[in-house]
Amino acid sequence: MYDIIIKGGKIIDGSGGEPYFADIAIKDGKISKISENIDGGDTVINAEGLVVTPGFIDSHSHADNAVFTYPDMKEKVEQGITTAIAGQCGSSPAPLPTYYDKNNDKMLGNLGKEYDILKTMGSFIEYSSKVPQGCNIAHFVGHGELRKAVMGYDDNREPTKEELEKMKELLRDAMNTGAFGMSLGLYYSPGCYAKTEEVNELAKVLKETNGLISAHIRNEGKDVIEATEEFINIIKAAGIRGVHSHIKAFISDKNIKVKTLFEMIDKANAEGADIYCDVYPYVASHTSLGATFVPAELRANGKMVENLKDPEKREIAKKFIIDTYGKNNDLSWTLVVSAKNRPDAIGKRINQIAKDRGCDVYDAVFDIIVDCNGIARACYFRMNEADVETAIKYPKAMICTDSSVSKGATTYHPRLRASFPRAIGRYARDKQLVPMPEMIRRVTSLPAYVYGLTGKGLLKEGYDADICVFSEEKFIDRAEYTDCTRGCEGLNYVLVSGQIVAENAIHNGKLCGKILRKNG
C-alpha cells in the first residue's frame, strides 16, 4: 500500500528529457514507483490534464531567519518551491557578531529564544533541524557574518593576520557542521571593505571542505565587468564551484549588456572554471535604500544614520549619487516598498516623494533612511527586458526569488511570491524562450546538481517526494509590486517529503521541510 499515488499526469522529470505519461507512487517520503496503472494508494491525486514535476529549488533565497519568524514559508511553498538555498549575499544568521546584544535584537528579542544558538553556524543548523518548517533549507554562511563575528563594527579595514585566521576557523567549522558554502556580499557592508586577497584566503578553506561560493558581486552597474572579472578570478584561483548571484547589468551610461557577462563566464569555464548563475525574471531589483544611495565610507562602523544627520556628510552622499547615477537623474526608477516609520513613502517613487515634501530627490532619500533608522527598502527599475530574456535563456542560469519570507506583505518585490510561475508561465510557455522540459530542469535538477542536493531535483524512484502538480496552460504569476497578496494561479498541488502541503496554491499548514546538510 502506498501513501499517495499521483495518477495520469504528464511527467516532466527534471532531466530535460521528453515528457511522458505515468503514475507516481509515494511511500515514506520517497518516490517508490513510477509506471503506468499503479493502484493501492491511501490518497490518490488525479493529475489527468496536469503536469507533474520535481519540486522547485530556489537557488538564491533569503529565508535565513524563517525558523524564528515565519517557519511555514508559505511564500515559497505557494509558488511550488520545496527547497531553498539560504544565507546569501554575504549574510547569514550565524556566527554572531562581536557587538551582538541579546537585549536589543531585532530577530530574537521578543521570541524568547536562546541567543547562544547563533554563536556558530553549526549550532544554528542543529537548532534549525529540530524546528518544523514549510520547505527544505540548505544554508550558506555569510562572509559578512564571518567578518562581523571577528572584527565587529571596526570593519572599514583589512583584517589582521590573526583575525583572518579566526575567520577561516569559523568558516571551516561552518562547513564541517553542514553549511554548503560561503556567500559573498561585496556590494554590501562589511563585505565591500574586503579586498580580493581576503576572499582568496577564505576560499582556500572551501577548497579543503568541498564548498561553493555564491556572490553578489561588487558592482552590477557601470563597473559590472570589472566586478565579474574579480569573481571569476576568485573562483579560478580557488578551483571551486561558483554561482554568480542574480546576474544582471544595470542600465548605465556604459550601456553594458548581460550578454557580455555570459561571454566572460563561458570563456572562464572553457579554461577550466566551474561557474553557474541564477536570475529572477523581473526588470527591477530590490534592496535597501542605504546600500543603493549611501557610499560605503558613510555606511562603515554602523554609523550610516548618524552620518546622514550631518549636512556635510549628506553632501558627500549626494555627490556619490550624482557620480553613480548621473547629475540629472530624478530617481523615478526607485519605488519605495518598505519604510515602517514613513507610511507616506510606501508605494511611491522617489521623485514623487520629493515633490510631495518640497525637497530635492537626495534629501527625500536621506530623510527616509534617517526616519526609518536605516531600515527602508525599494524596488529599482534599472534593467531592461531584453537582458532578462537573455539571462533566462542562458543554459547555466537557475531561477531564484532573491527573497526572504514576509507574512502579510502587500508592497514588496513580486519575486517574493511569483518568480517560479513567472519563469515557467510567461517565459517558457508564453514567450517560448526556453522549452518547457529545459525550464523545469533549470528549476529542479540543475540547482540540485550545482549545490549537491542528494535525492533532489528529479522524479526518479528512490528520490525524495518533493513534487509539484500544475496546469501547463494556466500556471502564471499574479503578484504585483504594489500588491504581493496574490501569488500565482494554476498550481494544483505541492508535496514536500511525500506529504501534500499546498492545494490550489494555498498552504495547508503542514510543516514537512528539513534542514539539508552538505555531504562530503
Q: Report how many domains make up the chain.
A: 2
At 409 the pLDDT is: 62
> Is 433 found in the same domain as 323?
no
pLDDT in tens, 90-121: 999 999 876 665 555 555 544 445 677 888 99
Q: Do 239 and 199 share a domain, yes or no?
A: yes
Task: Note whether 269 and 407 are same-domain residues.
Answer: yes
For residues 177 and 126, state if they share a domain: yes
H/E element, 147? helix 143-151
- 168 and 174 Cβ atoms separated by less than 8 Å: no
* CA atoms 180, 185, 186, 191: torsion sign: negative
Residue 25 within a domain: no
358 and 476 share one domain: no
The reported pTM is 0.95
What pLDDT sits at residue 117? 84
Q: What are the residues whose beta carbons fall under 8 Å from the beta carbon of 245, sequence distance 6 or more?
A: 60, 88, 89, 183, 214, 215, 216, 217, 277, 278, 400, 402
Of 349, 365, 381, the one marking the end of a domain is 381
Q: What pLDDT, on the 0 to 100 scale, is given for residue 509?
A: 96
349: domain range? 288-381
HSE-CB of 427 using CA atoms within 13 angstroms: 27
Between the CA atoms of 205, 208, 210 and 212, what dihedral angle is there, to the nearest 10 degrees?
Answer: 20
Residues 368 and 397 in one domain: no
> Are 331 and 271 contained in the same domain?
no
Of 349, 381, 413, which closes a domain?
381
The pLDDT, as a whole number, for residue 482 is: 83
What are the tens digits of pLDDT across the range 286-305? 999 999 999 999 998 889 99
Query: Same domain for 209 and 182?
Result: yes
Q: Do the domain assignments include residue 12?
A: no
Q: Which residues of the chain fall below pLDDT 70?
A: 98-114, 407-410, 520
- Does any domain span residue 405? yes
pLDDT recorded at residue 111: 45
Domain-terminating residue out of 381, 402, 424 = 381
In a domain, 21, yes or no: no
Q: What is the pLDDT of residue 109?
A: 47
369 and 399 both lie in a single domain: no
Answer whether 206's CB lies under 8 Å from 213's CB.
yes
The predicted pLDDT at position 474 comes to 98
In a domain, 82, yes or no: yes
- Work out whether strand 81-86 and strand 56-58 pair parallel, antiparallel, or are unpaired: parallel
Is residue 41 a part of any domain in this protein?
no
Q: How many Cα atoms occupy the beta-carbon half-sphere of 189 within 13 Å?
A: 24
Residue 370 placed within a domain: yes
Cα gap 389→303, rounded to integer Å: 39
Q: For residue 433, which phi and psi values (nearest 5 degrees)?
A: -70, -30
Contact 31, 461 (CB under 8 A): yes
Quick one: 246 and 151 in the same domain?
yes
* Residue 81's CATH number: 3.20.20.140
| Residue 30 counted as domain residue | no
403 and 448 housed in the same domain: yes
Cβ(272)–Cβ(360) under 8 Å?
Answer: no
